C-alpha cells in the first residue's frame, strides 16, 4: 500500500497546527510497513516564516526528532502528477492546498481510477469562509475526511461532496507522553498562537487575567503575538518565550503544574464538538488541563474527569488555585485524561479509522451524486 499526502508542510509547524497530526499519522502508517510520501509546496508560507524567524536549525531538529519522516518539496508549476501518483493506493489532499491543485488532482483521479482520493478538512473555514470552501472542486474525490461531525455534515448537506466521514485529530503518543523525573517548579504553561483576533477576549478572561491576579509563575509559547498581548503578558509573572517546536512540548509540559485550553471563537460558537489538537496532546503528556467552555457534542471526553471546565474567569481562578494546592487532585485529573487518550484518541486509532474507510471504498465504490 502507498499513501500519498499533499499538505501545506510536514517540516514546519510555525503557526501550522495541522503539521502535528500529519506527523503522527505518517509515522503510524510507516510503523505498519505502509509506504508514505508527503508532498509540500516550495515556498510554503509556514516554512518561509519559520526560516525567516529561526533559520535552518529547526529543520535539523525536526529530522532528529522524526528520523523516519520526510517530504518531497514540489513546484506547483512543474508537478508531474502521473509520476507522483503512479503507484498510489490512497491519496489525501489537505484543504490548505490551492483550488487549482485540488481540482487538478481530482481530474487525475477521474482518469486514473487505481487509487482512492480523499479531501481532508481540519479548519473552521467551512463556516468562516464558506464561499472559498465551496469553490473547491471535489467532483472526482471519493469523499471528505472532516475533523468534526458538524463539518462533515456541511459537506454533504451543501452538496460539496458525495460523502464524508468524521476523522478527529489525535495525539501522537510516540512523541506526546509523560516525561518522568522532571520537577514541576512552575505553575502554568500555555502553548498556542494568539489567534488572529478570534479569541482575544477569551485569552484575557481565561489566561492572562487569572494568571495576573493569582500571581502564577509560568511560560507562554506561540507566535504572532501583537504588541498589546506582549504588554499584557508583562503585567503577569508568565514568561513569553516565543515559538516552540511542537515535539518539544512534552518536556515543556513536564515542568509545569497545569495547562489551559482556550478555543478560538468559531469552534465555540458554530463548530461544537471540535476541540482542536492541543488538548489531545496535553492530556497525552499527563499534565492537568483546564478548558474554557466548548461543547463536547461528540462525547470525545468526560469533562470534569478528563479535564476541568471553567465557565468564566472566576471559575478559572478557582480551578487554578485548586490544582496548585492539591497535588492528589491534579494527579487524578491528569491520570484520567491520559487514560482516555490512550484508550480512544491516539494516531493509531485514527489510522485504524482511515484504513477502514479506505477498505470500504475499495470493496464498495461510491456512486456519484453530483448534478
For each of the chain's 371 residues, which pLDDT tens digit applies?
999 999 999 999 999 999 999 999 999 999 999 999 999 999 999 999 999 999 999 999 999 999 999 999 999 999 999 999 999 999 999 999 999 999 999 999 999 999 999 999 998 888 888 888 999 999 999 999 999 999 999 999 999 999 999 999 999 999 999 999 999 999 999 999 997 788 999 999 999 999 999 999 999 999 999 999 999 999 999 999 999 999 999 999 999 999 999 998 777 888 888 888 999 999 999 999 999 999 999 999 999 999 999 999 999 999 999 999 999 999 999 999 999 999 999 999 999 999 999 999 997 554 433 32
Please state, in angstroms and rounded to a whole number, the distance separating the CA atoms of residues 302 and 340.
9
Task: Report the chain's C-alpha Rg in angstroms.
Answer: 21
To the nearest 10°, report the CA torsion of 113, 118, 119, 121: 180
Cβ–Cβ under 8 Å, residues 216 and 325: no
> What CA–CA distance (Å, rounded) separates 314 from 326?
18
Cell 509540500, residue located: 40
268 Cβ contact list (under 8 Å, min separation 6): 292, 293, 294, 295
302: DSSP letter: -
- Whose grid coordinates read 503544574? 257
Kindly report the pTM of this predicted structure: 0.95
Per-residue confidence (pLDDT) for residue 265, from 0 to 100: 79
Q: What's the pLDDT score for residue 364?
A: 57
Rounded to 5 degrees, φ, ψ at 330 are -60, -40
Residue 317: alpha-carbon gap to chain centroid = 27
Say how many CA atoms lie within 13 Å of 261 toward its Cβ: 25
Cell representation of residue 25: 499519522
Cell of 100: 487549482
pLDDT score at 369: 32
List, in order of start, the domains of the chain with CATH numbers: 2-170+347-363 (3.40.50.2000), 186-344 (3.40.50.2000)
How far apart CA 204 and CA 235 sit, in angstroms, is: 12
Amino acid at each position: 500500500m502507498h499513501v500519498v499526502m499533499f499538505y501545506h508542510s510536514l517540516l514546519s509547524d510555525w503557526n501550522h497546527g495541522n503539521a502535528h497530526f500529519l506527523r503522527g499519522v505518517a509515522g503510524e502508517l510507516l510503523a505498519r510497513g505502509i509506504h508514505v510520501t508527503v508532498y509540500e509546496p516550495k515556498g510554503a508560507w509556514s516554512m518561509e516564516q519559520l526560516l525567516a524567524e529561526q533559520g535552518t536549525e529547526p529543520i535539523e531538529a525536526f529530522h532528529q526528532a522524526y528520523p523516519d519522516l520526510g517530504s518531497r518539496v514540489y513546484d506547483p508549476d512543474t508537478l508531474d502528477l502521473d509520476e507522483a501518483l503512479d503507484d498510489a493506493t490512497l491519496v489525501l489532499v489537505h484543504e490548505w492546498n490551492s483550488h487549482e491543485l485540488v481540482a487538478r488532482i481530482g481530474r487525475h483521479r477521474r482518469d486514473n481510477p487505481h487509487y482512492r482520493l480523499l479531501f481532508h478538512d481540519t479548519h473552521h473555514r467551512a463556516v468562516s469562509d464558506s464561499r472559498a470552501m465551496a469553490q473547491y472542486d471535489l467532483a472526482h474525490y471519493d469523499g471528505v475526511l472532516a475533523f468534526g461531525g458538524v463539518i462533515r455534515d456541511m459537506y454533504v448537506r451543501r452538496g460539496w461532496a458525495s460523502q464524508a466521514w468524521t476523522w478527529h485529530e489525535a495525539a501522537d503518543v510516540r512523541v506526546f507522553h509523560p516525561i518522568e523525573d522532571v520537577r514541576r517548579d512552575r505553575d502554568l504553561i500555555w502553548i498556542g498562537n494568539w489567534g488572529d483576533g478570534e479569541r482575544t477576549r477569551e485569552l484575557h478572561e481565561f489566561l492572562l487575567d487569572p494568571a495576573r491576579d493569582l500571581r502564577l509563575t509560568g511560560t507562554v509559547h506561540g507566535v504572532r503575538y501583537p504588541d498589546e498581548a506582549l504588554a499584557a503578558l508583562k503585567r503577569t509573572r508568565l514568561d513569553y518565550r516565543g515559538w516552540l517546536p511542537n515535539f518539544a512540548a512534552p518536556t515543556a509540559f513536564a515542568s509545569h503544574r497545569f495547562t489551559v485550553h482556550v478555543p478560538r471563537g468559531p469552534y465555540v460558537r458554530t463548530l461544537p464538538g471540535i476541540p482542536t489538537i492541543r488538548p489531545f496532546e496535553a492530556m497525552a503528556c499527563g499534565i492537568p488541563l483546564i478548558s474554557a467552555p466548548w461543547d463536547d457534542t461528540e462525547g470525545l471526553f468526560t469533562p470534569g474527569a478528563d479535564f476541568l471546565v471553567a465557565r468564566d474567569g472566576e471559575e478559572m481562578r478557582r480551578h487554578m488555585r485548586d490544582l496548585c494546592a492539591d497535588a492528589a487532585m491534579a494527579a487524578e485529573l491528569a491520570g484520567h485524561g491520559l487514560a482516555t487518550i490512550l484508550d480512544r484518541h491516539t494516531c493509531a486509532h485514527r489510522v485504524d479509522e482511515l484504513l477502514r474507510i479506505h477498505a470500504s471504498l475499495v470493496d464498495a465504490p461510491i456512486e456519484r451524486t453530483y448534478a
